[in-house]
Structure formats: structure tokens, C-alpha cells
């Protein structure tokens, strides 16, 4: 396997970005080429994957040089990220104009966030992707919220850097694996000393991962965003940040009991409060953004419990279904000038294909059987019970009821025109628009079918589908082809 593809995932989009400033007219093609190359390269890496690879940049062996780590975890990450990024770029290509360079840089940075094995390098890539996100959100024309985002994001990355500096002082290294080894050598428990740096890193990452109380920026930025910016932030950016978060929790977070309780309260609190907020909202995009905050809370809570595989399943389900939901919500908002649920009764009767795509994604989000979300949720509950955890499954089930309530309310409103009990007629929805775009329809249909297929096939093929390890599946299922 040619390991150079690992670095090219970052170098090619960066080079494309630099070049497209020189020849502005070709910017579109450079971006397309970079996205296509990244898709192909991540495919090749997945196809050839045998065992974890560590790529030493500059030829200096880790921990001295910066290294990129390609293991099952980051392989899954780059596959997910590059596919989602490409789909969003295709679906929302009319907004890309003038922002090609920013998107290329964001693509490079997000790949870097997932692949890097070095703490400071992680900070640099987080900062690049955050700045790209600030610039993209200026598309919303509501600069006040972008400014809020910028201030919070900069403070967050500052705290992250502070935590990294304290870690460097204690362990003398910036390489994540090396720090892990140095922690293991120390014979006494390190949890007590790590409280401050871990709290700082957790706080810093929670800003980008949208955990409460640091998610104040998300509402303003996302509530009128178009299908490019909003979808990128709720799916691609949030996937990369959560994956980096998971990697750090997995390798560095040696927590004392009280710190674990604090972190868990924050994440589970995010889950509960954000779902309640989503329930109380009346606008399509606001509902979705609060649901996205809640899912981030759930994913981080699962990582904190050490359930990597379950967390990844929830993450994948959330990223794919949010991509569909947010794209359509932004499109509905743009076509009709509003995304208020009350004003959109029966809008899907105008375009049933897109309506079915939306419905499938929403069903998967709440985890109904026959959809991928069901597999994810079943895995979460089973692995939590196996870990003898009773209260977290309870919370998840209760929250699922709230989630189910607002999703069903959303769907019934969007499908149903008239009063209750009356049969809906397409004529009643005349005043709404949901224009048909071939690209959009094809992608939404394929993604929806993929969600359903991923929900049904494991039920038929695997005996232990409720106990399914996505990481080893990736090596056995794809690597062994």
C-alpha cells in the first residue's frame, strides 16, 4: 500500500487552494479535482488497509516529528468525511461561487483533524477549519452571529492550547501515543494531576463540538444558514471534531471519578436540555440544530463511557441523516422564504421523492427499526447494559421519547395539509414550492436507500447485529476484499 496517500489527503486540497487563487477561473475545477482525489485516495487507503500505519512527516520518527495515524478509527473518519463533504458540495454547488478556496482549505483541515497524531498539529488544524467555518458563515449575511462564533471559537481554541501546553510541561511530548506511553510508565495514578489540562482540553473542544454551555454560537449561525454552510457545520465539521474528541478521550483522558462525573453531567445535560429545546422550537432548522447539539452530547457521553464502537455508530447515523435533513430544511426555507412548521403544512406533497428521503432520515435519526439508527441505538443500549450501566440507558430512552415526539410532529405537519382526520390532497399544498433538482433528488434517494439498507442488511446477515463492532468490521469487511 502506498502510504503517501495519507499525506496527499491533506496536501492535495491545500495545493489546490493555493493554486486556485492564481487562476481564479479554474477554482471550481480545482475544488472538484481535490474532492475527487480525496474520495479516490480514501477509497484506495480503505481497500489496501491491513494494519495501522504511522506516517512520519519530514522523515523524523515520532514522537520527534509530526506523525499522521491511519488506523481503523481514522480510516472510518476519512471515509465518512470525504463522502459527506463531496455529497454536500454536489448538492449545494450553487452556493460555492467565490468560496471554492475556503472549501478546499476546510477539506484539507478536516482531514488533518482526523488523521493527525500530534496535539499541537491538532490545534493548528482545528484553528484552520474554524477560520474556514467563520468565513463560510459570513454567507448568511448576519455578521453579528459570525462574530459571536469567532469570539467563542477563538477562546475555545485558546483554552485547548493552554491545556496542550500544560500537558507538554508534564510529559515533555506532544505526540498523543508518546504521551500515552509516558503516562503508562508512571507507576502511580496520574488522574489527579491531569484534572486541569483535561478540563481545559474538554472545554476547548466543546466549543466546536457544540456542547452546552458553549454552544451559544450555534443557534445564531445555523438558524438561517443555507444548505451549504449549515449542512457542512452540522455534519462534516461536527463529525471531524467529534472524531478528534473521541481520539483524545480514548488515549489521553485518564480521569478521576469526580472529573468523569462532571464531564458526564455536562454531556448528558447537553443531551437532555438540547432535546427539550428542540421539542419547544417551531422552525425546521432550529429543531435540527438543537437535535444536532443533543447528538453531539450523546456521542461524547458514549466516548467517555469507553464505548467507542457504539459512539461511532451514533455519529455515522447522525452525520448521514443530518446531512439529508438539513439540506432539505434549508432548501424548503429558501424556496418558501420561511421554515416555520406551521406555514409549511403538507409541503412534501409537492415533491414526494424528497419527502420520502426526509422521512427516512428522520426515522433513522430517532432509531426506528428497519433504519440504520435502530442498529446504532440497539448497539448503544446493549453495550451500556453490558457495562452494567443502568441510568444512562434510562436517560437515552426517555430522551428518545422526546425526540420521537418532535420528529413525528414535524413529519405529520410537513406531510399533512388539512385538519386532522382529513385525507391530504396534493392540491391543498399549492401555495408551497419545493423545486426539483436532479442532482439533489438522486443523492437524497441514494442516501435514503443506503440508510434503509444499512438498517435491514445487518438484521438478515448477522446474528449479533446488536453487538456489532464497526471498527473490526471495517478491517475484516473492507480490508479483506
In the complex, which residues of this chain contact other proteins (CB under 8 A)? Answer: 4, 7, 11, 14-15, 17-19, 21-22, 55-61, 63-66, 98-99, 101-102, 105, 108-109, 112, 120-121, 124-125, 127-128, 131-132, 134-135, 138, 142-144, 146-147, 150-151, 154-155, 158, 161-162, 165-166, 168-170, 172-175, 178, 186, 188, 190, 192-193, 195-196
CA atoms of 92 and 95, how far apart (whole Å): 6
Strand-pair partners of 70: 53
Q: Which is nearer to other proteins, 156 or 458 (CB)?
A: 156
CA atoms of 373 and 368, how far apart (whole Å): 7
Instruction: Give the CA angle between residues 126, 259, 394 to the nearest 5°.
Output: 95
Peptide bond into 63 cis (omega under 30): yes
Q: Which is nearer to other proteins, 186 or 398 (CB)?
A: 186
CB of 143 to other proteins, least distance (A): 5
Q: Which is nearer to other proteins, 154 or 412 (CB)?
A: 154
CB of 49 to other proteins, least distance (A): 20
Name the strand (E) or helix (H) holding 54.
Answer: strand 53-56
C-alpha 230: how far from chain center: 12
Q: Which is nearer to other proteins, 4 or 435 (CB)?
A: 4
CB of 70 to other proteins, least distance (A): 14
CB of 123 to other proteins, least distance (A): 9
Q: Which is nearer to other proteins, 109 or 316 (CB)?
A: 109
Q: Which is nearer to other proteins, 155 or 459 (CB)?
A: 155
CA atoms of 230 and 221, how far apart (whole Å): 8
Closest listed residue to residue 201, CA positions, set 172, 240, 167? 167
Q: How many CB atoms lie within 10 A of CB 199?
A: 16
CB of 146 to other proteins, least distance (A): 6
Report which DSSP code applies to 60: P
Q: Which is nearer to other proteins, 56 or 428 (CB)?
A: 56
CA atoms of 318 and 291, how far apart (whole Å): 9
Looking up cell 455529497, which residue turns up? 87
Q: Which is nearer to other proteins, 45 or 440 (CB)?
A: 45
Please give the grid coordinates belonging to residue 180.
500515552
Please give the grid coordinates belonging to residue 12.
492535495
CB of 121 to other proteins, least distance (A): 6
CB of 456 to other proteins, least distance (A): 42
Cα–Cα distances in angstroms (integers) from residue 277 to residues 80, 218, 402, in the given order: 28, 13, 10
Contacts of 14 (CB under 8 A, 6+ apart): 104, 105, 108
**286 Rama class: left (phi>0) / alpha (psi -120 to 50) / beta:** alpha
Q: Are 237 and 266 in contact (CB under 8 A)?
A: no
CB of 422 to other proteins, least distance (A): 38
Name the strand (E) or helix (H) holding 69.
Answer: strand 67-70
Contacts of 453 (CB under 8 A, 6+ apart): none
Q: Which is nearer to other proteins, 185 or 423 (CB)?
A: 185
In angstroms, what is the C-alpha Rg of the chain?
Answer: 22
Cα–Cα distances in angstroms (integers) from residue 381 to residues 294, 385, 471, in the given order: 17, 6, 18
Q: Which is nearer to other proteins, 57 or 459 (CB)?
A: 57
CB of 376 to other proteins, least distance (A): 33
Q: Which is nearer to other proteins, 190 or 452 (CB)?
A: 190
CA atoms of 251 and 119, how far apart (whole Å): 12
Q: Which is nearer to other proteins, 132 or 392 (CB)?
A: 132
Strand-pair partners of 175: 118
Strand-pair partners of 67: 56
CB of 126 to other proteins, least distance (A): 10
CB of 137 to other proteins, least distance (A): 10
CB of 221 to other proteins, least distance (A): 13
Amino acid at each position: 500500500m502506498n502510504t503517501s496517500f495519507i499525506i496527499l489527503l491533506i496536501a492535495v486540497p491545500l495545493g489546490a487552494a493555493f493554486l486556485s487563487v492564481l487562476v481564479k477561473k479554474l477554482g471550481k475545477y480545482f475544488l472538484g479535482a481535490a474532492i475527487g482525489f480525496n474520495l479516490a485516495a480514501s477509497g484506495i487507503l480503505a481497500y489496501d488497509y491491513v494494519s495501522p500505519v504511522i506516517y512520519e512527516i519530514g522523515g523524523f520518527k515520532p514522537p520527534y516529528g509530526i506523525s499522521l495515524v491511519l488506523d481503523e478509527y481514522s480510516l472510518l473518519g476519512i471515509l465518512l468525511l470525504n463522502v459527506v463533504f463531496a455529497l454536500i458540495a454536489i448538492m449545494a454547488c450553487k452556493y460555492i461561487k467565490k468560496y471554492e478556496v475556503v472549501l478546499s482549505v476546510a477539506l484539507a483541515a478536516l482531514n488533518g483533524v482526523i488523521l493527525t497524531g500530534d496535539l499541537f498539529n491538532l490545534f493548528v488544524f482545528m484553528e484552520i477549519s474554524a477560520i474556514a467555518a467563520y468565513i463560510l458563515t459570513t454567507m448568511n449575511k448576519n455578521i453579528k452571529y459570525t462574530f459571536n462564533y469567532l469570539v467563542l471559537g477563538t477562546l475555545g481554541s485558546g483554552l485547548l492550547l493552554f491545556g496542550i501546553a500544560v500537558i507538554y510541561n508534564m510529559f515533555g511530548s506532544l505526540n498523543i501515543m508518546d504521551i500515552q506511553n509516558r503516562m503508562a510508565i508512571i507507576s502511580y495514578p496520574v488522574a489527579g494531576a491531569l484534572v486541569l489540562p483535561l478540563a481545559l482540553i474538554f472545554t476547548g473542544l466543546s466549543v466546536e463540538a457544540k456542547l452546552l454551555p458553549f454552544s451559544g454560537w450555534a443557534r445564531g449561525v445555523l438558524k438561517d444558514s443555507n444548505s451549504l454552510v449549515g449542512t457542512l457545520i452540522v455534519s462534516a465539521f461536527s463529525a471531524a471534531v467529534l472524531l478528534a474528541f473521541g481520539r483524545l478521550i480514548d488515549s489521553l483522558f485518564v480521569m478521576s471519578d469526580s472529573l468523569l462525573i462532571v464531564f458526564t453531567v455536562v454531556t448528558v445535560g447537553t443531551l437532555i436540555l438540547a432535546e427539550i429545546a428542540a421539542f419547544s422550537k417551531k422552525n425546521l432548522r432550529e429543531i435540527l440544530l438543537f437535535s444536532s447539539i443533543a447528538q453531539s452530547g450523546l456521542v461524547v457521553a458514549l466516548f467517555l463511557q469507553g464505548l467507542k464502537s457504539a459512539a461511532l455508530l451514533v455519529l455515522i447515523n447522525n452525520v448521514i441523516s443530518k446531512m439529508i435533513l438539513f439540506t432539505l430544511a434549508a432548501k424548503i426555507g429558501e424556496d418558501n422564504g420561511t421554515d416555520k412548521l406551521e406555514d409549511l403544512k403538507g409541503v412534501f406533497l409537492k415533491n414526494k421523492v424528497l419527502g420520502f428521503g426526509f422521512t427516512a432520515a428522520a426515522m433513522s435519526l430517532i432509531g426506528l427499526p428497519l433504519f440504520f439508527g435502530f442498529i446504532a441505538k440497539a448497539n448503544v443500549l446493549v453495550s451500556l447494559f453490558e457495562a452494567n450501566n443502568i441510568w444512562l440507558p434510562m436517560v437515552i430512552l426517555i430522551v428518545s421519547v422526546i425526540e420521537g415526539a418532535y420528529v413525528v410532529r414535524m413529519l405529520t405537519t410537513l406531510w399533512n395539509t388539512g385538519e386532522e382526520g382529513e385525507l391530504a390532497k396534493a392540491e391543498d399544498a399549492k401555495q408551497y414550492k419545493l423545486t426539483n433538482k436532479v442532482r439533489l433528488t438522486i443523492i437524497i434517494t441514494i442516501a435514503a436507500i443506503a440508510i434503509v439498507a444499512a438498517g435491514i442488511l445487518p438484521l438478515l446477515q448477522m446474528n449479533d447485529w446488536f453487538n456489532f463492532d464497526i471498527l473490526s468490521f471495517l478491517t475484516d469487511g473492507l480490508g479483506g476484499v
